[in-house]
Amino acid sequence: MKIRVGFGYDVHKLGVGEELWIGGIHVPHSKGSIGHSDGDVLIHAICDALLGAANMRDIGFHFPDTSDDYKGIDSKILLKRTIEIIRNKGFEIGNIDSTICLEKPKLKYLIPEMQSVLANVLSIDSEDIAIKATTTEKLGFVGTQEGIAAYATVLIQKD
């Protein structure tokens, strides 16, 4: 069995009047992610981690923000395509461990729904998707509520 680990990171600026999508769900808030797609930093970080683990470059290579094909696209579609890319190479997900960095709103009650949505898209058990949320103690662009960041580590395997 071949086992690989991948790491992903994404960041988006927050803006008034934008929608906030995290982990495939809409999060009610006065600010939202500014991005070419729907700006879902958690899904983007997971996509990068999966692609990196499979040595398939990164999300920008497969879904460039210079293409109108991806303007405003639901990031769950990008995740679905990403899992197809790695599965075509013979890999399956072992597990995902991720962290969302956001000062407000608090996400702890939304995490089970995010896990369920992502598990459905990826066709894996929600128990294989860890999502944590943290602040940056009011430091940096996350702390001043100018932006949002997410990190993801994945384990993929091939028989």
Whole-angstrom CA distances from 153 to 19, 45, 105, 118, 148 are 26, 9, 23, 15, 17
**What DSSP state is assigned to residue 140?**
H
Confidence tier at 65 by pLDDT (50, 70, 90): confident
| Pick from 52-56, 64-68, 142-146: least confident | 64-68
| 21 and 77 Cβ atoms separated by less than 8 Å | no
User: What mean pLDDT do residues 71-85 have?
Assistant: 96
10 marked ligand binding residue: yes
User: Would you say 143 and 105 are in contact if contact means Cβ atoms under 8 Å apart?
Assistant: no
144 marked as part of a ligand binding site: no
Is 29 annotated for ligand binding? no
- Each residue's pLDDT tens digit, 121-151: 999 999 999 999 999 999 999 999 999 999 9
Q: Is 60 annotated as a binding residue?
A: yes
Is 26 annotated in a binding site? The answer is no
159: pLDDT confidence band, cut at 50, 70 and 90? confident
Question: Is 73 labelled a binding residue?
Answer: no
The annotation status of 92 as a binding-site residue, yes or no, is no
Please indicate if the annotation marks 12 as binding a ligand: yes
Q: Is 131 annotated as a binding residue?
A: no
Task: Name the helix (H) or strand (E) containing 152.
Answer: strand 147-158
Structure tokens at 123: 């066709």
Residue 106 has pLDDT above 90, yes or no: yes
Q: What is the 3-state secondary structure (H, E, C) of 85-122?
A: HHHHCCCEEEEEEEEEECCCCCCCCCHHHHHHHHHHHH
pLDDT at position 60 is: 92
Domains and CATH numbers, the chain: 2-158 (3.30.1330.50)
Q: Return mean pLDDT, the chain.
A: 96
